[in-house]
Structure 1
Amino acid sequence: MSRKILGFIFVFIIVLVSYQCAQRGTPTGGPKDIAPPELIRAEPPNMSINFKEQKIRLYFNELVKLKDIQKQLIISPPLKYTPILSPQGNANKYVEITIKDTLADNTTYTLNFGQGIVDNNEENPLPFFTYVFSTGDYIDSLELTGVIKDAFNKKVDEFVSVMLYKIDSSYTDSTLYKKPPNYITNTLDSSVIFKLKNLKEGKYALFALKDNAGNNLFDQKTDKIGFVEDTINLPTDSIYLLNLFKEIPDYGVAVPSMGASNKISFGYYGDGSAINIETITKLPDTVKSIITKEREKDTLNFWFTPYAMDSILFAITNDNLKVSDTFNVKSRKVAFDSLRLSLNQQGNIEFDKPINILVNTPLVSFDSTKIKLTDKDTLLVANNLKLDTLENQLNFDFKILPNQSYKIELLPGAITDFFDNTNDTVVYNLRTKSVADYGNLSLELNGNNIKYPIIVQLTNEKGDLQREIYANQPQTYAFNNLNPGKYMARVIFDSNKNRKWDTGNFLKKIQPEKISYYPSLIELRANWEKIETFNLIN
């Protein structure tokens, strides 16, 4: 074999080996980093006693940054001033906490970072890392465990604060509104279990707050609250249940507004059943007025015939609370609120829902001779009409049949409002589907010593009420002609027998009425007959 051929073979082998080596050495990036950062050391050390420092440094094995730390970090007991934390907006191998408060003597402090410390590349969180120190000679070590549920909704809110107040000579029921707690923790994501750690022996009051302002105080207008009526004696092995609920706000009246040239609106908070609105300003004899409640809103509307005015002075009183307010409403250029009609159902109508004509201005009368209901064969359908002044609507009562079309025709003058305005010709076309397009659901309730009366309700997946049955004794709960879809079922234990769910009140020590939810969604399809057994816990 010639030297030229041998040289060629040698070069070929070198190239082949080099290629294979290059192939073996090609970087693939390796597996994705899913490991959270690790704490290497802390200065001062975690679990320090006789703590007197103003700065804390936490050193990690890799670059870390702070994510959503204002929401994630919970300090117990709460500090008056928020500590300064770094790094902010960049990464570092340590987290530094600068304390701006003067720390209390002989107190154990816990800094729970939640999932606020993450690595720089993949943002893997160091879950629920806590740094604990004591300004005294020892670390408090008692714990308290419990569960949070929502009194009305099936799902509990995220980031619920759980608070302990020490019961001493300075504690009253109003402390919750004015001062932060002695100990605090919070739930993360969808967790319903809470644990308060590093607690001191003593007597405490236990609360849960959906603290929307993030100020560790109870604001009745915006926050949900849950409370345990009994005093908590630490140490304890008990597991506590906190029911979150939104209170009915204390009574109050908002500043009224002139929404139209013939309407002044008075919004209110709390119980408005005993509100009286009177004019202090003497109105001309030609001016008529009437007061109505706005549909589905906590608002009273003062309707009046417009006139040349500068302002009207009102006196607002609440007979139940013996309180009064005065408001001066100045005139402004706004349009007249004219008569408008609408129907509560459009297009396909449901068999078991009423048909109502809704009116925006105060409805005073109707002329049944100018209202006609016909079916698809243009035959007149027997019906009853009823004027509902409370809801400001005209109610139709007639037998609704499947596979049918209906036409409601209102001739001019059928409806008359407070201002003597009448309607023009209005036509509503409605139709029904076949019975086979719907499904039927029956619920059978099981449980020991079920306390009646109860309200059995069906809602959609969002929690919007679809149907309900009120019962004073055991029965089968049949919900017929339901649209196909997924439903939630719940039972309200109507302990005060007022045919609705009632929320609680902290100061009055009233817990909300109990609700039991069916554990899963109920799927219903067209032309289905379904029976579900609901095991109740009363």
Structure 2
Amino acid sequence: MSRKILGFIFVFIIVLVSYQCAQRGTPTGGPKDITPPELTRAEPPNLTTNFTGQKIRLYFDELVKLKDIQKQLIISPPLNNAPVLSPIGNVNKYVEITIKDTLEPNTTYTFNFGQGIVDNNEENPKSFFTYVFSTGDYIDSLSLTGVVKDAFNKKADDFVSVMLYKIDSSYTDSTVYKRPPNYITNTLDSAVIFKLNNLKEGKYALFGIKDASGNNLFDQKTDKIGFVRDTINLPTDSIYLLNLFKEIQDYGVAVPSMEASNRISFGYYGEGDDIQIETITKIPDTVKTKITKEREKDTLNFWFTPYEMDSIIFVITNESLKVKDTFKVKNRKVEFDSLKISMSQNGNIEMDKPINLLSNTPIIRFDSTKIKLMDKDSVEIAYSLKLDTLQNLLNFDFKVHPDQSYRMELVPGAVTDFFETSNDSVDYSFRTKSIADYGNLTLSLNGNTIVYPIIVQLTNEKGDLQREIYASRPQEYVFNNLNPGKYQARVIFDMNGNGKWDTGSFLEHRQPEKISYYPTLIELRANWEKIETFNLIE
């Protein structure tokens, strides 16, 4: 064989070997690991009785780590001191628990890790892994099942703590505020079903709490609560509903603040209808004062004409509760709140929503001869004008037409506030869209046990109220001239007839007023006429 042929064969072999080596070195990946870690053994074993130790080790078939374990781990009954867990911030083939508490005798303890134990690579969770032991001769085996919902919102909160208190001689209605429960579990993510396991026979009180501080107690200022009025008798095969709501906070007054040189702000909590504000400090007769409530805020404003002073001492009295608070407000250099007028709607306006003029200071008078409303042809439009009870809103009532432009003119002196300040000349322009740009929705309610009065509401996808109809008898509910979009429908059963939804009270054993939601979002497009039947299910 010639050298030329041998050389060609040699080069071919080198290229072939190089190609195969390259092929072998090319990463091909593989199927994604979706298998959670598996427990291989526990020391002491799961379901151990007569437990006397302080350390527990859980061994797994691969490297694991703890993820968000402070939130995920639920221990029932709760321990006074949190156990020490490892590895924190590291990986290992075992999880170690060191108990710092003195355990109660003859008690079954449950450690529910939720989604807190995950493998090292893909973070596949060992979902709802539970380790159980007893300090007595046997493991308690009873269980209780139920559902969590939100009293006002369609979607329930996640991570709701479900608590069971043993009813004995030490239990009172205030217990839920003072000490952790005998048994506890929680809901995870979007789950609404809960189950408490390894329970002991007896009588219990059942609660659900959205525990903002994570202290296993009910804090009215921050937490939602749901409760079952009846005593829970274990064993039971009943399924229980916990309807969570935020209570009206107990009355209290925040420290007042001088927000402007002519305004001192008094924030309060709870019911403020009977609050009286008086001054102890002698105020000159030449100084005018006025108290108004701030719109959509639990705040009262003390308005006064500025004068030379160091401080003012106030007494705030809640007449219905017979509670008094005294505050001293020091003078400080802040700007004067001067009159500013704005419109509630600008640009493209909603045809079925009110058109208002809003003021940042109290209005004492208005002159409708100095306010002109005109259409696109400069034809003046008749209107009525009314000052609301908070004295900072003027409502314009006039016939609004589709596909129309409007202009409102205010000349000086149209609006005068508490400080005898009047508006400057101002123009506002706004318009309505064509009827074809809107959609109409009719709701027909279907149910044999509807109790009136009711409030039928439409909200947007975020839950913001768009329209409502109050009804004291059966009717169709027609919502015309709606912007295209997706709407949520709900019905409030106004049991006390006060025209609004009322929350509940645990200490008064009062559940919140019922709300029923239409099961899906209702999509409405321009120039649509849509009719939906709303089946109300008890």
Same fold (TM over 0.5): yes
- Equivalent residue of 1:71, what SS? helix
- Equivalent residue of 1:177, what SS? helix
| Post-superposition offset of 1:534 | 0.4
Q: Does the 8 A contact of 1:78 with 1:182 survive in 2?
A: yes
- Equivalent residue of 1:153, what SS? coil
| Runs ≥4 residues deviating over 2 A | 1-27
Percent of paired sites with the same residue: 81
Query: How far apart, CA to CA, are the structure 2 residues paired with 1:6 and 1:406?
Result: 96
What corresponds to 1:226 in structure 2? Answer: 226
What corresponds to 2:437 in structure 1? Answer: 437
Query: How far apart, CA to CA, are the structure 1 residues paired with 2:388 and 2:420?
Result: 18
Q: Are 1:480 and 2:503 matched, yes or no?
A: no
Q: Are 1:64 and 2:98 matched, yes or no?
A: no
Query: How far apart, CA to CA, are the structure 1 residues paired with 2:454 and 2:167?
Result: 38
Letter of the 1:531 partner, please give it.
Answer: I
Q: Does the 8 A contact of 2:290 with 2:302 survive in 1?
A: yes
| Post-superposition offset of 1:40 | 1.0
Q: Are 1:470 and 2:473 matched, yes or no?
A: no
What corresponds to 1:180 in structure 2? Answer: 180
Q: Does the 8 A contact of 2:439 with 2:481 survive in 1?
A: yes
Mapping of 1:249-260 within 5 angstroms? 249-260=249-260
Inter-CA distance 27–377: structure 2 relative to 1 (3 Å threshold): closer
What corresponds to 1:352 in structure 2? Answer: 352
Letter of the 1:324 partner, please give it.
Answer: K
Query: How far apart, CA to CA, are the structure 1 residues paired with 2:128 and 2:102?
Result: 26
Mapping of 1:111-122 within 5 angstroms? 111-122=111-122
Number of residue pairs matched by the alignment: 538
What corresponds to 2:395 in structure 1? Answer: 395
What corresponds to 1:277 in structure 2? Answer: 277
Q: Are 1:163 and 2:163 matched, yes or no?
A: yes
Q: RMSD of the TM alignment (CA)?
A: 1.5
Letter of the 1:521 partner, please give it.
Answer: L
| Post-superposition offset of 1:12 | 4.3
Alignment gaps of 5+ in structure 2: none
Q: Does the 8 A contact of 1:152 with 1:245 survive in 2?
A: yes
Mapping of 1:58-457 within 5 angstroms? 58-390=58-390, 392-457=392-457
Q: Does the 8 A contact of 1:166 with 1:182 survive in 2?
A: yes
Query: How far apart, CA to CA, are the structure 1 residues paired with 2:326 and 2:235?
Result: 53
Q: Deviations for 1:464-511, whole angstroms, at most 9, x for unmatched residues?
A: 000000111111100000000000000011111111110000000000
Query: How far apart, CA to CA, are the structure 1 residues paired with 2:4 and 2:437?
Result: 88
Q: Deviations for 1:349-397, whole angstroms, at most 9, x for unmatched residues?
A: 1111111100111110001111111111111001111111325211101
Query: How far apart, CA to CA, are the structure 1 residues paired with 2:525 and 2:533?
Result: 18
| Post-superposition offset of 1:122 | 1.2
| Post-superposition offset of 1:281 | 1.2
- Equivalent residue of 2:62, what SS? strand
Q: Does the 8 A contact of 1:363 with 1:389 survive in 2?
A: no
TM-score of the pair, normalised by structure 1: 0.97
Inter-CA distance 475–6: structure 2 relative to 1 (3 Å threshold): same
| Post-superposition offset of 1:58 | 0.9
Letter of the 1:482 partner, please give it.
Answer: L
Query: How far apart, CA to CA, are the structure 1 residues paired with 2:335 and 2:4?
Result: 103
| Post-superposition offset of 1:521 | 0.2
TM-score of the pair, normalised by structure 2: 0.97
Query: How far apart, CA to CA, are the structure 2 residues paired with 1:464 and 1:44?
Result: 53
| Post-superposition offset of 1:16 | 3.9
Query: How far apart, CA to CA, are the structure 1 residues paired with 2:419 and 2:3?
Result: 117
Q: Deviations for 1:148-180, whole angstroms, at most 9, x for unmatched residues?
A: 010000011110000000000000000000100
- Equivalent residue of 1:100, what SS? coil
